[in-house]
Structure 1
């Protein structure tokens, strides 16, 4: 509430000032700070610049140095307090950080403050995000190949998981960034942004749970495929055996995540609703419709792999139980020791 009042009723965001630190400077009284402070005060979105040389606005000095100016000085460094006009955690705030860092300075410059922390956090995330996505994608692909012996099914799983997650992110943007869910999930302040950690957490948690459901379904489909060699029958029976379990599990975990919506903290609301939507969409639309539809249309191509990889899977692949010839005594297909029509097929 206080932040809303400051943002709406005052022209400067004093509590969100950027700290521009100049290092390795001459001693106090010998450093030329005034021209640099004047230059910073002319940047867009700057209300005022306070420094040891006084206060500046729109390129002009609006207040001379006073007793309080000593707080900006140290033996070999000084700092300037740049007061923005708008919210620091916004596109305008990020742009101001870039403008300050690109402005020529008389000494080495470091920029801190809420907007700078956001910019640096995002840069750090973007630098490592491709590597993180590559590790997740490659390891998931390899494990699903070892489990199924197919190159098609792991690729299908990655694409459909990303599809459901993209839809979830769309709900978050529409509901929280644009504010259409305000009132439906409780009151929150619409800032036209989403806390940058929310999409990362959502992706990691929802992707992991989606892959759990994928393994549940594929394990039963693969079991029936190995037994009968009939792709259509395998998809139908795999869905029949896991559908109720996956739906129940998704419903239970969605209830847990929806409990986060009761929080008074907006990013927890976003995480709770986002994960609930992701789980329910994945268990119903993706696992209940898109996966079986794709596998039905792909037919025997679902289980394709090049010869060398197929031989590698037969030797090193992951299995729930040792291979057992169909139609032999003790086989689950033939409890009485006699081959069934399906096992012969």
Structure 2
């Protein structure tokens, strides 16, 4: 008896002895999960957690230290549209004044730092500045409300108040929408909750129906339903304290939900199909459970652990978005695996009389052949009729032509990967239909998009009152002009103590505001506005550091921003080399650009580590040098096909107009290829290991190389195909999300599963294994084969 079988027998006896205790333990855990798991979604975040050694982290740290008001303020923007004409009319003027009055008289008045808009600035004598709040077509206007950062509860209450106030005051025929970073994030969380509801109400039932068609037993269907429920609840329960301790990105719950549905049903299919097969063969319940764990349990164990390791590779990226997706995915995989290897067999053992007696088994026993010869003859007939047996014979007979044709198709498809481009655009992570997203898109189209995501140049003089001299003013003005001349940005995008959206501010004009030498300048309303909006805001406490506010005319998360940031940093470096000052570029866009650069520098290393880990695990499992190498090659082929197809679909647009939900995606989000890589590796392993385990089982029982491959495919082809269909259905739930990155992720995974299931594992792998023959198991030496295709166990 082998070491594996001895361990399985001991484990089965342990489960038999403590089965009731195991079930009660899981029931207690799920009881806590019902209480805490729903809170996990509300604890998610939109923080990226940029590494500390990046220029953006250093710059943003200085920004928070020297200009704390920037960090403690949140901007809420009202977008006002008149579809039938201009917004420069008495309707909007009356609305603006009434809205201002309502805010000033409300309980939230102390939260408001400033309220800026066209009519407020015109009233203050700042007509030129006021035009920045009206679109060129005059049919759209914005108002900015800068609010002190408070608790999420109080800020949400304030936003609710704004919604009610707008509903009461909104003139007929106008559209007034709210947007802002906090509102967008709250809508992201709501979109995540809706995605989970879709998966629960649509995707899960369809996947369970497909599983029921395979198992053909209503009793056994109880197991995967319990597995899904317990896996979801426990995974979210485990992630709740993690989300309390560290930022977990907002769409992690949606990814976890898809994985749990896919893997729970996948693992249940592998386990229960083997359990049912052993019962039909006449095994008693305990033996059926033991054999189920020895074969299917071993397969899902190796596959699940390997998949979790692949996802944990994302944790080592110092970026919160990727790290928390990797952590959340690993948690749900290991939880699902643990439930399927403990709770599922415990239920089968505890309720043996219920689960081991089902209608199909009764029919099989009634039609059971009377003699061993009759049984073998019937099994041989079933084998010969099987479509998977016929595919196996075809794939092994024409193995070399199949491999050549596959490579011929793969080469041009792989070349298409060169066309694949990525984007850091926030459109990929914002829910499409949300009003805040609609307002944000209007803001980007009609105004300077940098209003909600400005960037900042910080200049440190490292001496008190170091900014109060004409030479420093001249330097900042020259810097602004150089950046405007050498990059694709206008002089109107800059605001600071020496520059006001297109015009320079002379030192002698600014000096009284900065140095407080003449209080009489504050007597006029316009002077008060100037001091509040510019001079107090853009200088630190001891006048040693100045901040230049940049609100670019291009999308601060668009395709151009990366080049602009790099070019601006080069200009700033030249200034730093020729002066005694320190220059920094801060803002959320700089964080994302630095994060993406770091991720793609680390990505090849992550690929190499995962490949090595996969190779070692599979080599140890099958005691072979060739099998893990072949597996890595076929997975690489799947990856090249999928990324090539992805480039054709998203970058070239071959499906535009055919799949509406995908037609507005022109590039992949920068995180999608990195996230999908880990799971594509794991999914390729999942089905390959299941097929290989059965092929190895036949070869160890004395069958020839070709017979082992064909019989292995015959036994697993139907299960792998149904598992692939179920997993594709589970991942397709993300295609119907309102968030682009989930559409991309779901589409890639669903497509990859189908290609891997019906082409790679079904045709290419048998062809390669047949051609490799005895080298499949090298350096392990197996006994000479004594059985062939027509031999039945």
Match of 1:69 in 2: 534
Alignment of structure 1 residues 1-345 onto 2, 5 Å? 1-10=438-447, 13-26=450-463, 27=465, 28-30=467-469, 31=472, 32-47=475-490, 48-55=493-500, 61=503, 66-67=530-531, 68-70=533-535, 71-74=537-540, 75=542, 76-103=544-571, 104-106=574-576, 107-181=581-655, 184-187=658-661, 190=664, 192-228=666-702, 230-305=704-779, 310=780
Is the 2:456–2:547 Cα contact (8 Å) retained in structure 1?
yes
**CA distance change for structure 1 residues 131 and 273 in 2, over 3 Å: closer, same or farther?**
same
Change (3 A) 1:286 1:244: same
| Correspondence for 2:61 | none
Q: Give the TM-score of the pair, scaled to structure 1.
A: 0.80
Greater Cα shift, 247-256 or 87-96: 87-96
- State the superposition RMSD in angstroms: 2.8
After superposition, the C-alpha distances for 1:22-52 in whole angstroms (9 at most, x for unaligned) are 2354423144422222222223221232222
Give the secondary-structure state (helix, strand or coil) at the position aligned to 2:575: coil
Structure 1 range deviating more: 170-179 or 151-160: 170-179
Higher relative contact order (CA 8 A, sep 6+): 2
63-72 or 283-292: bigger deviation: 63-72
In 1, Cα distance between equivalents of 2:482 and 2:495: 12
More helix by share: 2
- Computing the radius of gyration from Cα coordinates, the structure with the larger value is 2
Structure 2: runs of 5 or more not aligned: 1-437, 511-529
CA separation in 2, counterparts of 1:85 and 1:218? 57
Deviation for aligned residue 1:163: 1.7
Aligned-partner Cα distance in 2 for 1:174–1:125: 24
In structure 2, how many angstroms separate the alpha carbons of the residues matched to 1:231 and 1:294?
A: 11
Contact 1:250–1:280, Cα closer than 8 Å, also in 2? yes
Find the aligned partners of 1:134 and 1:109 in 2 and give their Cα distance: 37
Q: Which moved more, 1:21-30 or 1:35-44?
A: 21-30
Helix, strand or coil at the partner of 2:624: coil
Q: How many angstroms apart in 2 are the aligned matches of 1:218 and 1:253? A: 20
After superposition, the Cα gap between the structure-2 partners of 1:188 and 1:21, relative to the gap in structure 1 and judged at 3 Å, is: farther
State the 1:14 CA deviation: 3.5
Alignment match, 1:319: none
1:218: Cα distance to partner?
Answer: 0.8
For residues 205 and 90 of structure 1, do their structure 2 counterparts lie closer, same or farther at Cα, with a shift above 3 Å needed?
Answer: same
Question: Residues 193 and 3 from structure 1, CA distance in 2 versus in 1: closer, same or farther, beyond 3 angstroms?
Answer: farther
Q: Structure 1 residues 33, 44: closer, same or farther in 2, change over 3 A?
A: closer
CA distance change for structure 1 residues 174 and 62 in 2, over 3 Å: closer, same or farther?
A: farther
> How far off is 1:219 after superposition?
0.7
